Amino acid sequence: MLKRHLLKPATKQALLGLAIALGLLIPGCGTNPVTKKRELQLVSESQEIAIGKKNYGPTRQAQGGDYSLDPELTAYVQSVGNKLAAVSDRKLPYEFSIINDSTPNAWAMPGGKIAFNRGLLYELNSEAELAAVMGHEMVHAAARHGAKDMERGILFQGAMIAVGIGAQNSDYANLIVGGAQVGAQLVSSKYGRDAESESDLYGMRYMKKAGYDPAAAVTLQETFVRLSAEHKSNFIDGLFASHPPSAERVSANKSTLMQLGAGGDMGKDVYAQKVSKLKSTQAAYKAYDEAVKALASKDLEKAKQLINQAIAGEPREAKFQEFLADMALLQKKPEAALALYAKAINMQPDYFKPHVQSGIVLFSLGRKAEAEAYLKRANELLPTAPAYNLLGQLAEGRGDTALAMQHYQIAADSKSEIGQQAGARLAKLDLPRNPAKYLQARIEVDRAGNLYAVLQNNSALSIQQVQFKVIKYDLKTGRVISRSAPLILRTALAAGAKGQMALGQKVASLQEAKSYQLVLEAAEIQP
């Protein structure tokens, strides 16, 4: 996961908009349900639950989608979570999922929505170790750590987190738009030392109450410290980025163990049995991860060899077919790519990427009606800039300008290259109707008292003419004294250029010049 950085103004504005919409700016004091300490609370429990419910699905999509080939394993993880939830300090609608990503990681978002990467389950050796990680994540939700991050961001206009997607989806890393951006930010938080300590402490207490041996939390943290010292890159890219291990945490866990007392279920045999199917295909996913790297390096032959190994090891995995489709696209074989994306969708219908990729390919082939259905479905699963940009073009082609502008606006929020393209298309539709959003207009006066209309083109488009009016106000009352007929500046204005036009009027003083204002009415863009 990625460290926090300062938000761009547009992202801050979106966060504040969400806060206002949810009523988050109404301050109040409350008692933390886990620590029992008094604290300022801007986010209510119902709002936490609503945020988690809204963002849980799209966030899992953004990080690789659900691992769905072993429903019994997911049910097992949920059952362990249910044991801990039964003894937790806060009753939330806890939910536990497995994400189809090889990076060892886990996260929790407000409202009790928790996820474990497939890659983390490879690394654990007992049900008690699973409970240790799960209890830790549960406390993050129960003790309002995610909600507190939101509250700090709202109060101080501060930093949230860069949007991130798993390595196999890196092409979409900066393309998530809409509410899904909030979800990605919520689960990418690097918690502070106090939050990590609280999660270790109360997570071990939950383990003990649920019948697990809390010693597993100590040995697991010792293992994490060792792996961190060895610079195990998969852990550094995953769990350690947001939950850094340390000797201090090990020492604190040992003190907690002395208070709680060792003893309880370790569950090594049952865990080994439950993850046996998953571990039997670990080599296949490793080959897939290496194939992703080979394809990124444009080594198609190596990528093909590795993905064939992956398919031989796990022929049911939809991502492997999706990868073959990506390769076919690179080889300029769109029809073959479509067939492979269709196969991936048939194997796992509810993952966004093959839908959006199919839409892109169909659009490029001119099969726009088919493309629209795929793009809409992709946005239902995870809204992205490519899908909204193409939906905007489809709407514009039908003459539905209002809908096209809505789609382009959403796509433009991604701040990606595709977002910039959508923003340019939006401006091309919007600027002629609302030139004041894109052009700066002012009145200037020379030494002789002659008035000029000065226009600055702040858009990325070239403008061939602008229509405006000159209005004179009474500076004392604000009443309109006069309004000119429409005037047209016919000077071409390139992006960033400035033009002026003499108005044929004189004033006696600078104070009188202030009574005149320009009102932009329309503009024409150079074809």
Residue 27 falls inside a structural domain? yes
Domain that residue 131 falls in: 4-277
410 and 458 housed in the same domain: no
Looking at the structure of the chain, the number of domains it has is 4
The CATH number given to whatever domain includes residue 306 is 1.25.40.10
pLDDT digits (tens, 9 = 90+) for 116-141: 999 999 989 999 999 999 999 999 88
244 vs 69, residue with greater confidence:
69
99 neighbors 59 (Cβ within 8 angstroms) = no
Q: How confident is the model at residue 196 (pLDDT cuts 50, 70, 90)?
A: confident
Rounded-to-integer distance, Cα 69 and Cα 513, Å? 74
78 and 103 housed in the same domain: yes
DSSP 33: T
Torsion of CA 509, 502, 457, 16, to 10 degrees: 30
323 and 465 housed in the same domain: no
362 and 400 housed in the same domain: no
Rounded-to-integer distance, Cα 243 and Cα 221, Å? 11
411 and 499 housed in the same domain: no
Of 72-81, 156-165, 283-292, 325-334, give the lowest mean pLDDT range. 156-165
Looking only at the bridges linking them, the beta strands covering 95-99 and 113-117 are parallel
DSSP 333: -
47 and 132 housed in the same domain: yes
Residue 305 falls inside a structural domain? yes
235 neighbors 225 (Cβ within 8 angstroms) = no
Show which of 277, 297, 327 is a domain's final residue.
Answer: 277
Tell me the angle at which helices 352-364 and 385-397 cross, rounded to the nearest 10 degrees. Answer: 40
pLDDT at residue 372 in the model: 97
Residue 377 falls inside a structural domain? no
DSSP 440: E
pLDDT at 507 over 80: yes
Show which of 277, 292, 315 is a domain's final residue.
Answer: 277
The CATH number given to whatever domain includes residue 449 is 2.60.40
How many other C-beta atoms are found inside a 10 Å radius of the C-beta of residue 280? Answer: 11
pLDDT digits (tens, 9 = 90+) for 380-417: 999 999 999 999 999 999 999 999 999 999 999 888 88
116 and 239 housed in the same domain: yes
450 and 394 housed in the same domain: no
Q: How confident is the model at residue 60 (pLDDT cuts 50, 70, 90)?
A: very high
Of 187-191, 367-371, 440-444, give the lowest mean pLDDT range. 187-191
403 neighbors 414 (Cβ within 8 angstroms) = no
168 and 263 housed in the same domain: yes
DSSP 167: G
Residue 298 falls inside a structural domain? yes
pTM: 0.83
pLDDT at residue 164 in the model: 28
139 and 212 housed in the same domain: yes
394 and 511 housed in the same domain: no
Average pLDDT over residues 55-79: 94
pLDDT digits (tens, 9 = 90+) for 226-284: 877 766 656 555 565 566 777 888 899 999 999 999 999 999 999 999 999 999 999 99
pLDDT at 45 over 80: yes
Rounded-to-integer distance, Cα 384 and Cα 405, Å? 16
Residue 376 falls inside a structural domain? no
How many other C-beta atoms are found inside a 10 Å radius of the C-beta of residue 487? Answer: 16
Residue 339 falls inside a structural domain? yes
Show which of 277, 302, 329 is a domain's final residue.
Answer: 277
95 vs 235, residue with greater confidence:
95
476 and 492 housed in the same domain: yes
77 neighbors 271 (Cβ within 8 angstroms) = no
- Helix count and strand count (H, E) for the chain: 24, 14
pLDDT at residue 210 in the model: 96
Residue 378 falls inside a structural domain? no
pLDDT digits (tens, 9 = 90+) for 11-33: 444 444 444 444 444 456 788 87
pLDDT at residue 299 in the model: 94
